[in-house]
Every structure is written in C-alpha cells, then in structure tokens.
Chain A
C-alpha cells in the first residue's frame, strides 16, 4: 500500500512538472512584418508628343491589398486625335525610402511584360516602345494614339513570367492589374 502511494504521488508530481515546465517559456514577439514585397503604386505618365504636356494618372494603395481603400485612383483623361509617349513607374511606398520596382522590372525584362487592354469603343490605341534583351516588348515605355472622343476602360496588367515569357497575358503570375476609367475628350 505504501509503495502504491509513493508511485501515485510520483506520477502526479511528474504530470504537474511537465505542465509547469512547459508553461515557463519566453513569450514570442513577432518580427516586424517587413519581408513582404509589396507593390503599392502604379503611375502612368502620358507626354503629348506635339505639345510636350505631361499628364500623370495614378493608382495608389499604400497599405497593400485589403484594409483601407486605395488613396488615389485616377481617371485617364486624354485629348482626342493626339499621340502620347507613356512611361510607367511601379513603386512600393509602404517602405521608407520608397522602393522603385520599375528598376527591377526593367532589369528582369526577359521575365516581365506589361499588357494594355482597352475596352471596345474606346478610341485609344497603345503600342510597345521598348525591348528586353531578347527583343521582346516589356511595356514600361509605350506609344498611345487617340482618335475621336469616346469613353471606356484601360486595363494595365503586369505579368511575371520567369523563363516562360511568351507574349500571352494568360501566362504567369499577375503582379499588377488596374482597370482605369478612360475618357478621350
């Protein structure tokens, strides 16, 4: 009987020990979440090839997908019967200093392509004006031409196509997809 009592106590103590021991760990504070590579901002700069006038249209969501709504989401307004030179900037403004992702896209041009898709009825016509190392378009520079006044949308899509770049918008990962309301007036 005495032997049993000792054994029971030992078992009880052991279980208590295991539980207490396991409770005494240091609390874990998470690392500041900064590892994520975020794209927050897309800037389209339209330079009129005749007048030299520059208009910029922006999509800016500084806290990334979710949470608060985008702070800037411009409508593209262009003159009719004009031509423009487009320059694209892609930024991460959630970090300081701002990370210019445009540089990385240009450096890895063989793995990236921007696509411009306009809705039917919109008299805006966009063509590529740059090349990667293989002679394929990247789309960071493009030419735009307008005819008669019209409205519609312009969808700007950045595709990441590592080793699979084939000029197809369906291939690869979508890094950017913004649908701008567009007015030619």
Chain B
C-alpha cells in the first residue's frame, strides 16, 4: 500500500482582465417594495436602473426582477405613486434579492440586502452554481474535476485527464449537459469518455441536482449541468480577458482568451483555449503516456433590433488524450499482474508526447437561437443546433500486417451527428401564473468503424411540455408535464446478415414542487418528480470485447425504459453571519439498467475474459448533502460540507457498485483588508476527508474498495486593480502533504497502487 498513485501539487491560476465590466452579465436584481410605515406591499412601484435606462414594475405582490445584468455599480431609482423618486446605489457582484422599504412621509429609502440568490429563489429543485471567483479558481480543470467540490457531486475518472461528472451517484446517460443551451451529444455512455466541453466558455456553470426531465427532456434523471457563456450584451464597449493556469504535477498549462465588442445592431465575441500537460507523476514514478493536448475555439454574433434578436454560435473542441499504458489491458492476466505489482510494469519518463494508446476527439457545435419579445404574449425562443462528434481510439496493438498498420487507422471510430430543435414560449404572468410551453425534436445518426461493439444507429425523438409556476406571497408552487417519444433503428451484421431492428419508446415526465421563501432568512423547497430514459445503444446492442477493458459485454435488445421517482427537499437558513443548507433526496429507479457479472469467464485465444450482461432491477438511492458557513468575525469564515448516499439494488438485495463514498470537507479562510491596489486578498485551508466505500460486493468490483483518505489543500489569491483593467490571481496547492491515496471512482486505482 505504500506506493499509491496521487495527484500532487499546486495549481497556479492567473487571470488578467483587459477591460473592466468583465464579470458575468447574467446577474439579476429581484426584490420587493414595501411601505415601512404601514407595512403594506407597494404594488406597481417602479424600479429603474439609471445607467442602463431599463427597469421593471412591481407586480401585485410588490415583487420585481431585472435580469441579464453585468456586475458593476448601479444607481436604482425607486418610485411609487404619490412619493418622490428615491435613489439607492448598489455594487452588484451576484444576483440579489433586495427589500426596499419606502417611507411615504419623508421618502427615506432603505435597502436591505438579503443574501439569497435568485437561482435558489426561483426553482423548486436544488441547484448549485459556480461563477465569478469560484469559477476562476477552477480555471484549466476539466468539467468533471471543476464540479467535484460541489456538495453531492463526484467524478468518475480515468487518470487525471478523463473525468465525468456524477450527480447524486448518477452519470453518463442519466444526466444531461447543456452546452450553451444545447444538449451535449457524444459517446456519453462510456466511463472513459469525458464531456467534450471547454469549461473556459462558461460565465457560470449551474447544476440542477434532481430529475429535471420536464424542462430538459428524457435522460435528465440524475440532474442537469448547464454550461452558460455570458450573454452577448450591447453595452460596455470592447472588452476581453486572458486567463492562464499552470499545473506543477504535469508541468502543464492552459490559456484562454476572449474578446467581445459591438457594432450596433450586432454584438460579437471570439474565444479560444489552448491546454497542454505532460506525463503525470506520483512521488515514486511517472505514469507512462499520460500527456494531454487540447485546443478549442468559439465564435458568436448576435443581431438585436427592437423586440427581436438572433444569435449564431459556433464552437470547436479538440483533444488528444494519452491513456496510461498500464491501464489499457489486453487480457485478464495483464489485469492480475497489475493487481499484484507494486508499481506499474511500464515505466514512464517525462514527456509532452503522446503514444499509443490514445484517444483523439473532435466536437463541432453550430447553434442558432432567435428570441422575439412581445409585451402581450411574452417571449418566444427558437433554437436549432447541429453537432458532430468524432471519437477515435488508438489501441496499443498495431496491426501485424504492415500494409494495414501503415494506414494508421484507429482501432475504434465513432461519428455521431445530432440535430436538435426547440421552440419555447415563456408567457407573461397571467394573474398569478408564469411559465413556459415548449416543443423539441432531435435527430441523431451514429457510425461506428473498425469495431462492432456498438452498432450504427439512427434516433428520432420529440417532446412537448408545459411548466407553470403559481406565486402567492412567500409561496411558489410549480408543476410541469412533458411527453416524449423516441424511435430508434440499429444497423449491424449478424453472421453476415444485415439486421435492422427498430424500437419505440414513449413516456410522460412530470414534476410538482413548492418553495417557501421567507424574508426572515429561510427558504424551504420540496419537489416530487418523475423522469425516464430509453435504454442506450450500448445497453441494447453491446456485443463482445469492450476495447481496453478486457471484458466481454453483452447488451439486451429487450430492455425496457428506465424510470425514476424522486423526492427532493431542501432547507436554507441565512443571516449575515451564518449560512446553513441541508438537502435530502430519495430516488427510486424502476428498471435500473446495470452490468451484471456472469460466470464462468469466457475462454478466448487471449485468455479468460470476465463476462458482463446488461440487466434491469429496481434500485433506490437515498442521500443527504449538508453545508454550513459561519463568519467568526467579518473576514474570518469557517465552512463545512458533508455528503452521503446509499444505493441499493432492491431485487438482488445487494449494494449498487461504483457509487461515491461519503465525504466530509472543512474549510477556513480569511479575507484581508484592501491595501493599495490589492483587493480581496483571500487565504484558505481546506481539508477533504473521503470515507471508505464499504458498500460494494466482490463479484462486481475487481478489487476491494480503497481505504479512507484525507487531503489538505492551501489556496491564496487576490485582485490587483489598475486604472483600466484588473488582474486576479490565485495559487492553490492540492494534496499539500503528498498523501498517497486511491479513489474508488478512479478507474486507475487498480493499476497504480
């Protein structure tokens, strides 16, 4: 156990802003205007932002909301019939809910800022998000790694370069990733297939923890990850930013930049990212062939005139991932050798070069979204998107035949093209209802070459939904219903005969929830929902050798659709000093699809291979996430987080394997006073304690779960304000004490011990 693979060491993040007003332009100011003297709600009061010449009128409940605001200083003018207009200056850094108390007699205005974000206030599902400083701190990390500090989230990793987000124990085909509003479609079924998204495009990343199937469609059973770029706003002049991050372990770096400007009625933005990492290392040795290269770019242009706007967006993602040589196993003997070996039997040296085995991935996205606003009807959005994802996997095994080898063909080639369209109507508040109605369609085609593991296929699907919210004083009630239909056809050869089986699936998704939002710091939400998904192609038709995994996997064309029933509750309490959030969920999964080990192992010319079959059961996942912050003094804060989940296969009465272990995090940080140009100097220590996953069973896991481990990290950062730009920097040392550990959800854990 001495020589265990570790992630070591510091990540240096440096960010440089060319212009001011860089931060997110998706902030909201919401609030309520009341009469201080009479404690009455002031309906139809107006709130106007002087700088932007825009505003809102309060509704019957004296509530208002103004969205799509950039961070910055604003002057709010608040007026009501019979009163003189008053002004309040606010510094907007995050979405806020403000209470304005208007004194009719002498028109003295007070603003009380309630530290509740609008996101929490809006929905009845539990959400979490990364934006601003928190987002800068994860610069250069992959999407999966960026999100794993969120409570209730984990990652499935294949080494340090491939990571997949896990929400409440569910991942891959059971969660959705919305890349700039478009559902990401690649080969997401594979554990070693990371999401093809550049986190640098994001201005905020929002995670919905729970079945959000009504709004986003089937497959959103575990949750939804929204990667949102900043909206294109035609204010603020030309601006841009450069971000640079460095990683000491891999001697790697990432750089990303964007520039945005407008030429009325057009607004445009160009963005690009480059990332390169060398061989990763443990305290004792290098992990052979773990270099990583990535290059991405995106361009967007928006036309805006009166009540109509239309936007065209293109993004390109490309990466080449070296797969740790020792993890790419040829047969079970290789695997057994890896178990007993203290160190990987393939020795590595430091290099930026990538050899076999490796993955090469290209992802293109073209998206067009049009928005029409009408005072009477509300807002209409029409989105059409085209995606093309090409994944090439190169085996260690070079063909014996020189003429075939010379072609340099991949061992595995997948090309999946997807077209999605969506029409959404967000209607204005009618009496006390607000909501949206939508239609969506998807068309998909997959081509596999050089392997028959997954067949070629075509998918068509369509959905229709309505989601309404009823607002009454401190309560909001939400209900939604959706119908989806999916048709799919596979193409493959069986003993030389072309087979073209077809499948059809259709089902309802629904949700009903409520949020109680009390001005006295308390929020409570409860949501009961049901979502479903059709079995994926690998679950239906996997046929044989799983590339690189030394396992035979067999699909079952008779699988039924999977359904989830989820109850989610959340409680939040916030005062200027204290913040407490507790969430609990229970997710009952009907026809839960999983890989069942089948005995005996199959005899092949390459030795014995374990055999797995896709089967269905009923499973239940229960979990709790809790967070607490406390300011001992104004600048000195302590924070603690805890998450646990239990996943049980109810029919076979065993634990569901590959579920995250319980985790406890503690954090202390101190924000220093500004001195000179240095602002927000923040230093912190974080300790993450991961418990042992005892809830496994031997037939399904190759090895017993790894032991408990505790990691300590240190971070420091600040802003340096100059006249026309600001520089923010941060330095983070991960795993400060070089603790050797293995993580249960890291597929490498069996090869690096």
Contact = CB atoms under 8 A, between A and B. Distances in A.
Interface of A: 4, 7-8, 11-12, 14-15, 18-19, 22-23, 25, 27-33, 35-37, 39-42, 59, 61, 64-67, 69-70, 73, 101, 104-105, 108, 157, 160, 162, 170-179
A61 B496 CA distance: 17
Interface in B455-493: 455-456, 458, 460, 489, 491-493
Nearest to A108: B400
A66 B441 CA distance: 38
28 contacts: A4-B374, A11-B372, A12-B423, A15-B382, A18-B421, A19-B419, A27-B491, A29-B491, A30-B447, A32-B496, A35-B404, A40-B605, A42-B605, A65-B606, A66-B545, A66-B552, A157-B333, A160-B400, A170-B337, A171-B345, A172-B396, A174-B334, A175-B330, A175-B606, A177-B331, A177-B333, A178-B605, A179-B607
Interface in B308-360: 308, 330-331, 333-334, 337, 345-346
Interface in B417-450: 419, 421, 423, 439, 441, 443, 445, 447-450
Contacts of A8: 380
A32 B493 contact: yes
B372 to A, nearest CB: 6
A37 B603 contact: no
| Interface of B, helix, strand, loop or mixed by DSSP | strand
A25 B449 contact: no
B456 A174 contact: no
Contacts of B423: 11-12, 15
B544 interface: yes
Nearest to B452: A33
Contacts of A70: 603-605
B735 to A, nearest CB: 30
A15 B449 contact: no
Nearest to B372: A7
A104 to B, nearest CB: 4
Given A22-B443, A27-B458, A32-B493, A4 B603 contact: no
B325 to A, nearest CB: 10
A19 B552 contact: no
Contacts of A108: 400, 402
B421 A28 contact: no
A66 B445 CA distance: 27
A46 to B, nearest CB: 19
Give the interface residue-count category, chain B.
Answer: 35 or more
Contacts of A22: 419, 421, 443
B618 to A, nearest CB: 29
Contacts of A177: 331, 333, 605-607
A36 B421 contact: no
Contacts of A32: 493, 496
Given A35-B449, A174-B334, 19 more contacts: A12-B423, A15-B382, A22-B419, A28-B445, A28-B491, A30-B455, A30-B456, A36-B450, A40-B605, A42-B605, A64-B544, A65-B545, A66-B609, A104-B401, A162-B398, A173-B396, A174-B331, A174-B607, A176-B606
B691 to A, nearest CB: 34
Q: Which of B397, B421, B460, B606 has the most CB of A within 10 A?
A: B606
Given A15-B421, A173-B397, A67 B544 contact: yes
B377 interface: yes
B84 interface: no
A70 to B, nearest CB: 6
Nearest to A178: B605
B543 to A, nearest CB: 7
A174 B439 contact: no
Nearest to B456: A30
A12 B382 CA distance: 9
User: Can you list the 8 inter-chain pairs with the closest CB atoms, starting with the nearest?
Assistant: A65-B604, A177-B607, A174-B330, A66-B544, A22-B419, A104-B400, A30-B456, A22-B443
Contacts of B441: 19
Nearest to B417: A25
B84 to A, nearest CB: 38
Contacts of B603: 61, 69-70, 73
A96 to B, nearest CB: 12
B399 interface: yes
Contacts of B337: 170
A120 B554 CA distance: 36
Contacts of A157: 333
B370 interface: yes
B343 to A, nearest CB: 12
B399 A37 contact: yes
B507 interface: no
Given A37-B399, A176-B606, A18 B458 contact: no
B400 A101 contact: yes
Given A27-B458, A66-B544, A37 B606 contact: no
Contacts of B447: 28, 30
Given A14-B382, A30-B491, A30-B492, A174 B333 contact: yes
A95 B174 CA distance: 40
Given A15-B439, A160-B397, A173-B397, A66 B491 contact: no
B613 to A, nearest CB: 12
Contacts of B399: 37
B131 to A, nearest CB: 31
Nearest to B543: A66
B406 interface: no
Interface string B385-396: 000000000001
A174 B607 CA distance: 9
B114 interface: no
B602 interface: yes
A36 B404 CA distance: 10
B408 to A, nearest CB: 13
Interface string B501-545: 000000000000000000000000000000000000000000111
Interface-central residue, B398, B400, B544, by most chain A CB under 10 Å? B400
A33 B439 CA distance: 39
A89 to B, nearest CB: 13
A69 B439 CA distance: 49
A171 B399 CA distance: 17
Contact of B419 (A7, A18, A42, A173): A18
B746 interface: no
Residue picked from A65, A104, A175, most chain B C-beta under 10 Å: A65
B282 interface: no
Nearest to B544: A66
Contacts of B374: 4
Nearest to B330: A174
B487 to A, nearest CB: 11
Contacts of B698: none
B644 to A, nearest CB: 39
B589 to A, nearest CB: 29
Given A35-B450, A170-B337, A11 B493 contact: no
B248 interface: no
B443 A23 contact: yes
Given A11-B380, A29-B491, A65-B545, A37 B451 contact: no
B270 interface: no
Residue from B545, B552, B602, B604 whose CB has the most chain A CB atoms within 10 Å: B604
Contacts of A41: 605
A123 to B, nearest CB: 24
A70 B609 CA distance: 13
Contacts of B492: 30
